[in-house]
Amino acid sequence: MSDKPKNTGKKTEQKAEQNQRLSVFKTYKLYVGGKFPRSESGRVYEVTDSKGQWLANAPRASRKDARDAVVAARKAFGGWSGATAYNRGQILYRVAEMLEGRRDQFVREVAEAEGLPKSRAAAQVDAAIDRWVWYAGWTDKIAQVVGGGNPVAGPYFNLSSPEPTGVVTVLAPQESSFLGLVSVLAPVIATGNTAVVIASEKFPLPALSLGEVLATSDVPGGVVNILTGGTAEIAAPLAAHQDVNAIDLAGADEALAKELEIAAADNLKRVVRPQPVDYFATPGIDRLTAFLETKTVWHPTGALGASGSSY
Amino acid sequence: MASEMVSAKASAFAYAPAPESRSVVDIAPSYGLFIDGEFTEAADGKVFKTVSPSTEEVLSEVARAGEADVDRAVGAARRAFGKWSALPGSERAKYLFRIARIIQERSRELAVLETLDNGKPIKETRDADLPLVAAHFFYYAGWADKLDHAGFGKDVRPLGVAGQVIPWNFPLLMLAWKIAPALATGNTVVLKPAETTPLSALFFADICRQAGLPKGVVNILPGYGDAGAALVAHPDVNKVAFTGSTAVGKAIARQVAGTDKKVTLELGGKGANIVFDDAPIDQAVEGVVTGIFFNQGQVCCAGSRLLVQESIHDELLDSLKRRLSALRLGDPLDKNTDIGAINSAEQLARISSLVEQGEAEGAERWSPSCELPSSGYWFAPTLFTNVTQAHTVARDEIFGPVLSVLTFRTPDEAVAKANNSQYGLSAGIWTEKGSRILAVASKLRAGVVWSNTFNKFDPTSPFGGYKESGYGREGGRHGLEAYLDV
């Protein structure tokens, strides 16, 4: 680090000129188990804006951080998957509310990260907020859409219901640092899964700020865990982790995706392969159903007698 | 004392033999591969013998598919795909309805054939396998022209060529689970039956002929694991469907990594059958027996772990032992037979070795006094008591007539023990309390839960596992997804 020329933070310069006061920098930290730890490794990496100016030092999460995140996600799974769908919907909607209040911050972070003009960054953030609302509404509808009674040929009441797969590792898209992130994360937790998210490697700051929003939106600690750092480095132990049930490879390139899919086979994780997605388009239910299991329960119905009633 | 009672009971249930006629099925001395509507030899001329597990008699000699044959069959399926997928759904439906009807017409013949080649009792092939096979084709036939209404969007499209690999425990039923949805959705098929049970799939090829199915739509490749691996690896296969062991399922998942192939896996299980202290004991015992001794326990969703509430352990075990002593083991073609033959010498060796391991680890082994036929592959119904969760017989899938008995005190403990498995395919709950059924069922991490019943199947009912029991569902509306480009 020390041999690199130091850029002066541009935020600092502006603020200093206008207000004659030094602004307070935010220390960006991981979000694990509802807390904001630094990486246990003590490592950070430099995050710059699109012009190469320094924005922050983001934590470079280690495999130990990844394992801690899985433990937190597993611990949270019982409560979150057992919450009512209505309750999960309320909480996801609350995330949208909290984001709306911090809209300007996210517009600035996305603009700086992705090098977008304010208006385009705002469009991304608005779409991301609306995406939380869309998935908030899905929590108590998906079971009726993909589950239901099955007309078996026998005296049984036979019911199929979707249930969350468990702990899901999400490799957030590399390019779309916020809208893409929300588009892959919200469907995972909407149905009651818990998530370990690896943020965009180059643009990690909006993801870390999202952690702060989730922490104040009634999302129970551990339901979403956000890691930043080298995607390949963090993803490898998660793809091989025996207590992870599924993995979304959205943020992996072709070679990494293949490597991770092979590792994921070891405990038959459900795998979503990378595919081109227009994150501005209204999503279908694919990302919801990808992390749902179907449970079918048979109950004998008994019989009240042969004749029944004609009326 | 128990054993005296047991033998008295057994003799009271002596039955005169009631053999089903073997002459209703005509097995040819040899069969070829079924590729592009024709029976053909393997490219390298290899063959293998298929034997009757109950007698070790050679039933027929069958061509053994190799890599070149896989390539030929996939080519035929690819050529057939264009026209088949372009047919109006209503026309594809009619082919499937024809197949369903022909299966019904020939079901006695097919039941006897399946019993001969597999070793399972005729009672099961006649009353379970064959009716379900016909029902499955009938069910998916009806979907073929209604796919736009199945909830996967408008104008849904098939994937292309489906490579399907099926096991030996329900040969024709697994074929139906694979082929019926594949054809209904407009895919074409290359199917590899298991090496120990190729015959019913080859008879199915003849049914395709009778139904006038266009050539190449269904191709059947009898063979071993190498043929299955070649099929999974073939670059022109768009969809892989596999039912079998978890180890092979993982190998398949690795093999397709980085490709566009869509995969469904239906793998092993270690189902927990949970009996609460308020359950009607006799009914529960019947369910436990069905759960583990149906098809000699060679069932992926078998209830191979009995979790019994501590307070009724002794009573339940007494009843269970009494019931097991009345099971009739022997000639699978005898209509009275409850327990048939183990499918192969290899499987028998696997069961024996796991049971020996169970004894060595300190679990207590029990079997009813039971005379085993002198030829063929047989294993007496077996119970293990004093089993802990760490025992191999409580963890590994035995795939044989072996039940491990564990106990619990509270519903929470029952759920924790039931879920303490790499698998998550099936579970059973026995209690009179409705709210407890619903509470426990919702906590079990298993794809199929039977309450106060076990081993029930239906084409409308989705089937498949959680965790390492695989992914995807077969049956019902859900089963369509595996064969659609969605």
CA distance A290 to chain B (A): 10
Identity (one letter) of the amino acid at B206? D
What pLDDT, on a 0 to 100 scale, did the predictor assign at position A1?
A: 40
pLDDT of res. B13: 59
**Using CB atoms within 10 A of its CB, is residue A305 exposed (0-12), middle (13-18) or buried (19+)?**
exposed
CATH T-level topology, domain A35-300: Aldehyde Dehydrogenase; Chain A, domain 1 (3.40.605)
Contact A158 B265 (CB under 8 A): no
What pLDDT was estimated at residue A20? 84
Strand B470-471 relative to strand B262-266, pairing: antiparallel
Q: What's the pTM?
A: 0.94
CA distance to partner chain B, nearest, from residue A158 (Å): 7
Residue B72 pLDDT > 70, yes or no? Answer: yes
B456 and A154 within 8 Å at the Cβ level: the answer is yes
A193-217 average pLDDT score: 98
Q: Is there a contact between A148 and A159 (Cβ–Cβ < 8 Å)? A: yes
* Partner residue opposite B250 with nearest CB, options A160, A265, A300: A265
Q: Where are the domains of chain A?
A: 35-300
CA distances from B228 to B56, B65, B193, B203, B464 (A): 25, 9, 9, 20, 21
Q: Which of A84, A64, A7, A6 is nearest to A229 (CA)?
A: A64
Q: How confident is the model at residue A2 (pLDDT cuts 50, 70, 90)?
A: very low
Amino acid (one-letter) located at B306? L
Question: Is there a contact between A297 and A199 (Cβ–Cβ < 8 Å)?
Answer: no
| Across A265-270, average pLDDT | 98
On whether any CB of chain A is under 8 Å from the CB of B266, the answer is no
For residue B12, the model assigns a pLDDT of 53
pLDDT band at A308 (very low <50, low <70, confident <90, very high): low
- The pLDDT of residue B2 is 37
Is the pLDDT score of B3 beyond 50? Answer: no
Average pLDDT over residues A237-257: 98
Q: Which of residues 112-171 of A touch B (CB under 8 A)?
A: 145-146, 150-154, 156, 158, 160, 165
What 3-state DSSP class applies to A23? coil
Assess contact for B128 and B120: CB atoms under 8 A.
Answer: no
How far apart are the CA of A8 and the nearest CA of chain B, in angstroms?
Answer: 43
pLDDT at position B323: 97
Cα B353-B354-B357 angle, rounded to 5 deg: 90
Average pLDDT, chain B: 96
pLDDT-based confidence at residue A17 (cuts at 50, 70, 90): low
| Residue-level length of chain A | 311
Mean model confidence pLDDT for chain A: 94
Q: Which residues of A touch B470 (CB under 8 A)?
A: 268
pLDDT at A18 over 90: no
Q: Tell me the C-alpha distance between A120 and A126, whole Å.
A: 10
The pLDDT tens digits for A100-135 are 999 999 999 999 999 999 999 999 999 999 999 999
What is the pLDDT, as a whole number, of residue B14? 72
CB-based contact A270 B458, cutoff 8 Å:
no
Whether B474 is catalytic: no
Q: Is the pLDDT of residue A8 over 70?
A: no
3-state secondary structure chain B: CHHHHHHHHHHHCCCCCCECCHHHCCCCCEECEEECCEEECCCCCCEEEEECCCCCCEEEEEECCCHHHHHHHHHHHHHHHHHHHHCCHHHHHHHHHHHHHHHHHCHHHHHHHHHHHHCCCHHHHHHHHHHHHHHHHHHHHHHCCCHHHCCCCCCCCECCEEEEECCCCCHHHHHHHHHHHHHHCCCEEEEECCCCCCHHHHHHHHHHHHHCCCCCCEEECCCCHHHHHHHHHCCCCCEEEEECCHHHHHHHHHHCCCCCCEEEEECCCCCEEEECCCCCHHHHHHHHHHHHHHHHHCCCCCCCEEEEEHHHHHHHHHHHHHHHHCCCECCCCECCCCECCCCCHHHHHHHHHHHHHHHHCCCEEECCCCCCCCCCCCCCCEEEECCCCCCHHHHCCCCCCEEEEEEECCHHHHHHHHHCCCEECEEEEECCCHHHHHHHHHHCCCCEEEECCCCCCCCCCCECCEECCEECCECCCHHHHCCECC
Secondary structure (3-state) at A119:
helix
Place of tokens 């509802």: A34
Q: Which of residues 406-435 of B touch A (CB under 8 A)?
A: 422
Give yes or no for residue B9 having a pLDDT over 90.
Answer: no
Domains and CATH numbers, chain B: 22-267+469-481 (3.40.605.10), 269-451 (3.40.309.10)
Question: Cβ separation of B254 and A146 shorter than 8 Å?
Answer: no
User: Which of A6, A63, A10 lies closest to A227, judged by CA?
Assistant: A63
Q: B478 and A294: CB-CB below 8 Å?
A: yes
Which is nearest to B239 in space by CA: B162, B132, B345, B138?
B162
The pLDDT, as a whole number, for residue B150 is 97
pLDDT in tens, B129-177: 999 999 999 999 999 999 999 999 999 999 999 999 999 999 999 999 9
pLDDT in tens, B94-138: 999 999 999 999 999 999 999 999 999 999 999 999 999 999 999
Cβ-defined contact of A296 to B460 (cutoff 8 Å): no
* Stretch A230-236: mean pLDDT: 98
Residue contact B258–A254, C-beta within 8 A: yes
Instruction: Supply angle C-alpha B123, B128, B130, rounded to 5.
Output: 100
Which residue out of A242, A253, A261, A293 would a mutagenesis test of the B interface target, given it has the greatest number of B Cβ atoms within 10 Å?
A293
Cβ neighbourhood burial of B155 (10 Å; 0-12, 13-18, 19+): exposed
- Is residue B162 within 8 A of residue B51, CB to CB? The reply is no
pLDDT of residue A86: 98
> H-helix or E-strand containing A54?
strand A54-59
The alpha-carbon gap from A268 to the nearest alpha carbon of chain B, in Å, equals 6
- Quick one: what percent of chain A has pLDDT higher than 70? 91
Least confident range from A89-103, A244-258, A292-306, B449-463: namely A292-306
Active-site annotation holds for B61: no
Rounded percentage of chain B residues whose pLDDT exceeds 90: 96
Q: Which residues contact A217 (CB under 8 A, 6 or more apart)?
A: A91, A94, A95, A97, A98
- Grouping H, G, I as helix, E, B as strand and the rest as coil, residue A160 is strand
The complex's ipTM works out to 0.95
